[in-house]
Amino acid sequence: MASALDLGLLQYFAVIFPTLLVFVLVYAILGKFKLLGESTAINSIVAICCAILVSLSEGVVSLIVFMAPWFVFVFILILLFLLIMKTFGTTDADILNVVTRDAAVTWTILGIVIIIVVAGFTFTFGQDILDQSQSVDDGTGNGEDIENNIFQVIFHPKILGVLVLFGISVMAIGLLTGKT
């Protein structure tokens, strides 16, 4: 039965959206930084070529399809946080001052980007790499699923202990240097 919210038809157009995203991003970067000169024709041809090359690779399209919603989600959260800060009376100059001078903001955003990229590569290519690396099955059934392996590694007691020690060390360094 068809419904108004049935989005199954969009899966056939799934390659078009990443292709358009790559075209727009490459064209914007080439136009902004003028890497190939002032010619919009050359910039658009290079952007079209990059977009077509991306559309030919299933792995890259899958990677973009996984990562794009997460970046949009983070962008919306940042906008909502800025809206809350503006509601409490923070000026644009204050926000710009914190963003440009506070290293914690830069490292937080960089950390979020790295987490999204690593998760995207793991989701897209992780199971294939795991299957290729296991040439001999040891019969235990361990290591058959990349998600199970990641869960076992992250929540292993030794890893959790190292993370707790790392957190304590970071807080101690911050308190000792007075930059908290």
Parse the chain into domains and list their residue ranges.
Answer: 12-56, 62-133, 140-180
Tokens 């946080």 map to which residue?
81
Q: What is the pTM of this model?
A: 0.76
pLDDT of residue 141: 52
Residue 138 in this model has a pLDDT that exceeds 60: no
Cβ(18)–Cβ(68) under 8 Å? yes
Q: Which of 68-82, 93-107, 130-144 has the lowest mean pLDDT?
A: 130-144
Average pLDDT over residues 79-100: 93
The Cα–Cα gap between 55 and 60 comes to 8
Give per-residue pLDDT as tens, 32-82.
999 999 999 999 999 999 999 999 999 999 999 999 999 999 999 999 999
**107 by DSSP, 3-state: which?**
helix
